[in-house]
Amino acid sequence: MKRLHVRIAALLPLLLVPVAVGAQAPGAGVSAGYESYRFSDPDQTGIQTISLLTVPLAARVPLFGGAALDVHGAWARGTMRLADGSTVTLQGPTDTQLGLVLPLKQDVASLTAVALLPTGKQKETLDEALVAGVLASELLPFRITNWGAGGAAGLAAAVEHAFGRFGVGGSASYLVARRYDLLEENGFAYRPGNQLRARLAFDAATGATGKASLQLTYLHSSEDVVDGSNLFRPGDRFQAMSSWAFAAGERSSGIIYAGVFRRDQASFLVARPVQPPAQTLFMAGGGARLPVGRSVLLPALDMRVLRRSDGLSQGVIAGLGGSAQIPLGRAILLPEARARLGHVVVSEGSETGFTGFDLGLGVRFGGGRP
């Protein structure tokens, strides 16, 4: 389980990612998702089940001169049933992300002003913080990992260019976090560290219809501050993701991907008996796009392997399932379902398995056929 400062800092790299794909496509839509995991040995984990209901909210508003305003948020409810049968819940809206995108040169360069409005829950109880810590685990791919981070603001710049069959792009951003009260009990003023993010992306056409891509990302956060004193130095983070998309017949296509996310060992700036470990997350998977009549089937599989330098809270999880795009009058129905299976190391010499599932349903209006 992550510590609170690590959980909050983990949100910051996501703030400068563009709004969900559905929000950028033409038309409008609504969706909801439900994820749940059950542990086979609750006496070891202290948890029977952990589940999350998510209702994402996203929109893009075109403005003058090609500019656009992106809005991204969600309402979520996390529920954890403990080994003794009691239930702990954390629910409410998340923080709202605003992004004002200003094109400097069409399809080449852009500047984005980002604001994270503190609309989510900030002062959590100790029980709510426990739920949030489990949901923020890198091993379990929950849709939401944080309800509130106190607000932040920053700038991002991006540039890209094509050279025949090759393309290259880069981006850099800086986000300044805001101080806020972290807990209801024994509250204290907490400010996550400011964050610098840099990314390079490369792609190349392969054969007549394929495309290979590689993304490299570096994340650095300054020290977290509590009541005016530096408390925690997050470890630098590095990520590499590669993929290959290819045609698989006249109308079908496929994709495979693999990547690694590395977080260096963090450190407390005050005396603590245990320092946060370094960790490495390996990711791999693939999927296909299979037209069936007017509908489209999208089967997929994925795997995540988490390794930590202390050997604890690490494990493996695999998922199998997919989604579909089904025309329904002027709308498109978007169901999805996945089953998951894995195990986690709870303590030295002690492991437990778990099973889970992920369900989603959305409706898109407009935007053309699937």
Closest-CA residue to 217 (of 234, 192, 202, 238): 238
| Cα–Cα distance measured from residue 263 to residue 236, given in angstroms and rounded to the nearest whole number | 6
Q: Which residues contact 130 (CB under 8 A, 6 or more apart)?
A: 1, 80, 88
In a structure prediction context, what are the per-residue pLDDT tens digits for the chain, which is 370 residues long? 333 333 223 222 222 233 333 333 445 789 999 999 999 988 888 899 999 999 998 888 999 888 999 999 999 999 999 999 999 999 999 999 999 999 998 888 999 999 999 998 777 788 888 888 888 888 999 998 888 888 899 999 999 999 889 999 999 999 998 887 766 666 667 788 899 999 999 999 998 789 999 999 999 988 887 766 767 778 899 999 999 999 988 889 999 999 999 998 877 766 565 677 889 999 999 999 999 999 999 999 999 999 998 888 899 999 999 999 999 988 999 999 999 999 999 877 788 999 999 999 999 987 556 6
Sign of the C-alpha dihedral computed for residues 358, 126, 74 and 315 taken in this order: negative
Q: Which residues contact 145 (CB under 8 A, 6 or more apart)?
A: 7, 10, 11, 132, 135, 136
Pairing, β 47-62 against β 87-93: unpaired
Q: What is the pTM assigned to this prediction?
A: 0.84
Strand, helix or coil for residue 86? coil
Q: Classify domain 4-365 by CATH number.
A: 2.40.160
Domain residue spans of the chain: 4-365
